[in-house]
Structure 1
Amino acid sequence: VGGGPAGSTVGSLLRKYNPSLTVAILEKERFPREHVGESQLPAVGAVLHEMGVWDDIEACNFVVKLGATYTWGKSQEPWVFSFIPRDDILDTPRPAPFEGWRKRVALQVDRARYDDILLKHSAKLGCEVFEETGVTKVLRDGDTILGLVSSSEKTFKGRYYIDASGNIGVLRRAMGVPIDSPTILQNVAFWDYWKKQGLNVELLEEKAIRVQVRSVPFGWLWYIALSDDETSVGLVCPSSYFKDCGKDAETLYKEAIQLEPLISRLLTDAAATGDVRATKDWSFLSDRAYGDNWFLCGESVGFADPILAAGMTLTHSCAQHCAYTILELERGEHDASWLREQYNEIQRKRIQQHMKFADYWYSANGCFTDLQEHCSEIAGNSGLKLSPEEAFRWLSNGAIDDNVGQVGFGGFNLAGVKQVQHRLSHDVSGKVVYRIDGRNVFKLRTEGATEKVIARVEAGEVRPVRALERDGDVLVLAGAYLLVYDILLKVKKVTDFLSLLKAEIKLRGTPGEEVFLYRAAMQCLESMAARGWVKTSTDPKLPLLRMDTPEEGEYIFSATGDGISLG
């Protein structure tokens, strides 16, 4: 139910890996249609490539996104977050294949065209697409769906039903699934589209661009370039502020733009459509993501605040996992209840972690001068401490891993998370502390942990992976985590650890990947230490391990001029 990115991704992957399946997609609107949510994270590209739709998307020449420039934190000084180091950005002719540096960056898309391409692609793969076909009634028996009655009075029946209808949650509501709001982030968003010849040219870096995220006293603005000549500009603010300020949406929207120097300058002489759109950006999470023969997928599972631009990434990855789960149910090689519960646990946890990170961003933003009481309430509600060390421990409670076996979250690696803490910290020094820095003995601490099996999705399959769980925190024994874990089973001293690590990387890595694998392993070691899986200590007879995060790094650094990073 729903032909947006969630529905088209599920449909395409089901048909790709099992062409014998009959898949129907019911979409209440006629595509193309306008939709907000243009900014993506790098993880989306891999899903598009797997679906087989990368070349069609790339042919549209959508803007390549390198990261973002922020005014956010303890001052109004702009700073830059980059998906990749500046030296890795190449002037690659387009359309380009999904390889090299393009695998590590993202896109900013016109959702009308983007969603239409995805839906048409699912039809090419054999999905039966029914546009202008809404669901008017869900036939059910307890927790089992028996069929769907459409607006054309046709009844659709299948073995599995997927709610890909977005936050409206057609099946979620019909099946009586409660939703919760674990955060007090209840925002509203207002946006419009602006055009002018050459509007975004000065923002370009090697024909690519960064999203502008700019704080104003009562909220923040996004500036998402959609082409050289068009941009999406939106305002996000607390719904309570909008209700109490006594201004209409258009007035508040224009006021915010005038308060932001860079955006107001860029929009000089640009023409807006004049139709200021509005939506609720209320974070929520469903109590469960599956039933007897149905699944919630994408934003029907939950929604996290858009500050990290993670909506499309969460949707595509959730849809991928949903498709894989159904494929495995059809194969019958894994326990059905385990497959369903793993889908539920992993997808709900991802949304919860993005909510938690959003709480941190909002509570730490000193630029919200009109919202300080609101920010303090967010911090108090989540039990957040704003010192860098305490904040990282809070954020990493339950892990900060978007992908099984890797340290990463919302486009940031662990070093990026640490550097963000430095930018947002309100303590005196702002110093970011690594638990492994200045240590040279590392001992595994697994006492009190129980073994469990979790799901890892890959190449059309759900694969069981060993993990350890203690006090709600799960240490996944896969990827770089498994590498570090296996080495620490053998040695404790830093010299022995590094020697074995380098030897293993040489065996496993391909030319050019060694540095990346080494960094990933060290970040996993830090994550394990911060979460209590590794005890660190110092032996005066051994050399010390040194690991820190410079204020100006490859991935996060101060912007130049009036906030545009020009090199």
Structure 2
Amino acid sequence: MNFDLDVAIIGGGPGGSTCGGLLRKYAPELTVGIFEREAFPRDHVGESVLPPVSSILQELGCWDEVEAADFPIKIGATYRWGNSDKLWDFEFMPVEQYREEQRPRGWTQQARQLAFQVDRARYDHILLDHARRLGCAVEQPGRVRRVETDGDRIEALVLEDGRRIRARWYVDASGAAAIARKALGVGVDCPTRLQNVAFWDYWENAEWASRYPGGATRVLVLSIGSGWIWFIPLGPTRTSIGFVCPKSLYRESAKSPEEIYLWALQQEPFITELTASASREGKVEATRDWSFVSDRTAGPNWFLVGEAAGFADPILAAGLTLTQGSAREAAYSILALAKGEHEADWLQQNYDDNQRTRIRQHIRFADFWYSANGKFTDLETYTSEIARDAGLSLDPKRAFQWLGTGGFTHDTLGQAGIGALDLAGTRQVASRFLGTQARWELSRVNQLTLKLDGAKVVEIPAYKDGTIRRIKTYRRGDRRLPLTGLFATVITALQRGPDLVGHILPEFQRQAAGGEAGGKMQSHLVLHHLLQALELMLNDGWVKGRRDPKRPGIDLNTPIEGQIIHTNVELNERLAAQEPV
């Protein structure tokens, strides 16, 4: 069979350009075409980035280009969310440890911990131009009019001008349009009660709520009861301000998009203050923010990436992380298929499992955030419903504990976390929402042994340096325990002996001090993350614990106030000073 391309990618946004760029970086002999319907630059919502994207930019080889664009450095976010009207911060690193670095920055340790707030008109253009320089054939505008299929295979793309493009593999990175997914008849599931809509506009010369040397700031996420407002500085003068609310509220209001947008901003005095000397572009845009996940994300000769595969509510700012992360794994899967290195079914099944599980976890965590903001009447009871959606029958207390740990081992292989939050971070958010300190299960036990009853040993992919390596993994139901990273170190420590203080902690300390676990991470952080991994394994049933009254233990809890998540004293004092006496 004659092919026009090795890989045809529908869509030139961050998903398409990331996938195409990595394919050409690691296999320059592959012919890759990207078909983007719009001319760049063009605006696009979804401007707040999480730290995992920075590593993908570095791997692509375009970190320097993105950094040279001088986007604001995102050190975290300031929220009004939960049961209190007080503003609180979530930071990627303790702000007192932040140090100004001359722009453009190099790929420093601090840069790896932080993120950007990007003007998508410029960001998407930078990434697509980079993919073009790596050798991708970019057609722009290059609208795909039709996708020809034969059963579960894609046969060709038919372009607007009538040309028929045949490829060995296809990638649908067309976002919400989901051109190939819809042509293949792949359905979607909406595992959430949330059906939100979003409205936004761009402003010039709005005041930043927080500003640090080197162009660093936080985004604002402000609940106003009827919904929430985002405030995202995109550059020295440009800011994205949006409003998210339930679809039902918008319909019942009988307002136009512009009317409900302006009404929402008027409900928030802080936004009024920040925009007092600003002007807006006056082009209110709207979209629906309905979380969903595709029934399948891979087939015999195709992959879905980004929003074509699924979407999680933007409250956690995970959009670009999910998009570029899935694009990276799709590229690695195609590279392996091209080299014949692994079985096609194994590659496709693991890609599908990773994407669908990851999206569902983000949807569940977003549901948890909304439930804490009064969208559902009883927070702990609702977590039981979320657990039932995941196929688990748990009482409210156990369900809340499950959600707090989350089994979040799909987000980053070998680590315990979701998005930019590690396990301790998810616990601290939960503590803030509930108003109580969360005590760790490790505080209740001091004798620990592996519990692998009923677990199967399978292999999952590890994606690194353009190659997929098979990692042995224990799987029990929908839970998995990869024998790599922090989890492998924990298993080694458990094999030293069952005593938490006498055997396990000394091994953790030895590994942390020697740099054997955590790579370049500071030793105290490595120890912190190893304890989190052990806690997750205990909560997830991979470790059995008991209390020996004759042996010492440890006392771990998650305070409401910490270095990473804490009340924003400065902004709260500023707002209090403006309130009428």
**Smaller-chain TM-score range?**
over 0.9
Corresponding position: 1:2 with 2:11: yes
Report how far residue 507 of structure 1 moved. 3.2
Deviates more, 1:60-69 or 1:398-407: 398-407
Equivalent-residue separation in structure 2 for 1:464 and 1:97 (angstroms): 32
- SS of corresponding position for 1:312: helix
Give the conservation status (yes or no) of the 8 Å contact 2:462–2:471: yes
Does the CA contact (< 8 Å) of 2:88 and 2:567 recur in 1? yes
> For the structure 1 residues 564 and 44, does the alpha-carbon distance in structure 2 shift closer, same or farther, using more than 3 Å as the test?
farther
Distance, in Å, in 2 between the alignment partners of 1:41 and 1:265 is 27
1:231 is matched with 239
Give the gaps of 5 or more residues in structure 1: none
Amino acid of the residue matched to residue 13 of structure 2?
G
Q: How does 1:498-537 map to 2 (within 5 A)?
A: 498-509=505-516, 513-537=522-546
Moved more, 512-521 or 290-299: 512-521
Query: How far did residue 525 of structure 1 move?
Result: 0.5
Could you tell me which residue of structure 1 aligns to residue 194 of structure 2?
Answer: 185
Structure 1: how far apart are the matches of 2:275 and 2:182?
41
CA contact (8 A) 1:364 1:424 kept: yes
Pairing partner for 1:204 from 205, 211, 233: 211
Counterpart pick for 1:78 among 83, 87, 104: 87
Q: 1:152 aligns with which of 152, 161, 182?
A: 161
What residue in structure 2 maps to residue 164 of structure 1?
A: 173
> Following the alignment from structure 2 to structure 1, what is the Cα–Cα distance between the partners of residues 440 and 543?
13
d(CA) in 2 for partners of 1:340 and 1:265?
A: 51
Which residue of structure 1 aligns with residue 386 of structure 2? 382
Deviation by residue 1:462-493 (Cα, 9 ceiling, x = unmatched): 21111111232111111001110122123100
Given residue 482 of structure 2, which amino acid in structure 1 is its aligned partner?
V
SS at match of 1:203: coil
1:479 alignment partner, one of 480, 485, 488? 485
Aligned-residue offset at 1:383? 5.3
CA contact (8 A) 1:203 1:209 kept: yes
Equivalent pair of 1:398/1:472 in contact (CA under 8 Å): no
Q: In structure 2, what residue type is equivalent to 1:226? A: L
Check conservation: 1:172, 1:300, Cα contact below 8 A.
Answer: yes
Partner of 2:252: 244
1:530 positional shift:
1.1
The 3 A distance-change label for structure 1 pair 118 and 512 is closer
Which AA in structure 2 matches 1:236?
V
Label 1:563 to 1:171 Cα distance change in 2 as closer, same or farther (>3 A).
farther
1:461 equivalent to 2:470? Answer no
1:320 lines up with 2:328 in the alignment: yes
CA offset digits 1:353-390 (Å, max 9, x no partner) = 00000010001113xxxx55699997675358997764
Match of 2:359 in 1: 351
What is the SS of the residue equivalent to 1:159?
strand
Secondary structure of the 1:457 match is strand
User: What whole-Å deviation, never above 9, does each CA across 1:298-323 have from its counterpart, x for those lacking one?
Assistant: 11000010000000000011000000
Residue of structure 2 in register with 1:450 after alignment: 456
**For the structure 1 residues 100 and 489, does the alpha-carbon distance in structure 2 shift closer, same or farther, using more than 3 Å as the test?**
same
Residue 493 of structure 1 is matched in structure 2 by 499
Q: Deviations over 1:31-81 (max 9, x none)?
A: 111111110000000000100111111111000001101011111111100
With the length of structure 1 as denominator, give the TM-score of the two structures: 0.94
Residue deviations 1:274-308 (CA, integer Å, cap 9, x gap): 21110011111110011111111111000010000
Distance 2:326 2:315 in 1: 19
Distance (whole Å) between structure 1 residues aligned to residue 446 and residue 188 of structure 2: 47
Structure 2: distance between partners of 1:564 and 1:153: 62
The correspondence of residues 277-288 of structure 1 with structure 2, limited to 5 A, is: 277-288=285-296
C-alpha distance 240-380 of structure 1, shift in aligned 2 (>3 A): farther
Measured at CA, do residues 520 and 440 of structure 1 come closer, stay the same or move farther in structure 2, by a change above 3 Å? same
Q: Does 1:547 align with 2:556?
A: yes
Which residue pairs with 1:134 in the alignment? 143
Cα 1:255–1:101 change in 2 (3 A) is same
**What CA distance in whole angstroms lies between the structure 2 residues aligned with 1:379 and 1:276?**
35
Read off the aligned partner of 1:119 and give its amino acid letter: L
| Superposition RMSD in Å | 2.1
Q: Does the residue aligned with 2:441 lie in a helix, a strand or coil?
A: coil
Q: Which amino acid aligns with 1:483?
A: T
User: Which sections of structure 2, spanning at least 5 residues, go unmatched?
Assistant: 1-9, 389-393, 576-581
What secondary structure does 1:37 align onto? coil
C-alpha separation in 1, matches of 2:260 and 2:562: 36
**Segments of 4+ moved more than 6 angstroms:** 373-378, 384-389
Distance 2:157 2:103 in 1: 43
- Give the count of matched residue pairs: 557
Q: Of 310, 316, 321, which residue of structure 2 is paired with 1:308? A: 316
**What do the CA deviations read for 1:476-525 (whole angstroms, capped 9, x no partner)?**
11100111012212310012111122223333346762112111111101
With over 3 angstroms needed to count, the CA separation of the structure-2 counterparts of 1:565 and 1:115, relative to structure 1, is farther
Q: How does 1:393-408 map to 2 (within 5 A)?
A: 393-408=402-417
Q: 1:291 maps to which residue?
A: 299
Percent of counterpart pairs with the same letter? 41
Are the aligned partners of 1:66 and 1:105 in contact in 2 as well (CA < 8 Å)? yes
C-alpha distance in 2 between matches for 1:292 and 1:372: 41
CA distance in 2, matches of 1:311, 1:202: 23
| Alpha-carbon distance between aligned partners in 2 of 1:424 and 1:21, rounded to the nearest angstrom | 50
* Cα displacement (A) at 1:400: 4.9
Q: Secondary structure at the match of 1:285?
A: strand
| Per-residue deviation, 1:560 | 1.4
8 Å contact kept, 1:65–1:208: yes
When normalised by structure 2's length, the TM-score is 0.92
1:274 aligned residue = 282
Distance 1:361 1:342 in 2: 29
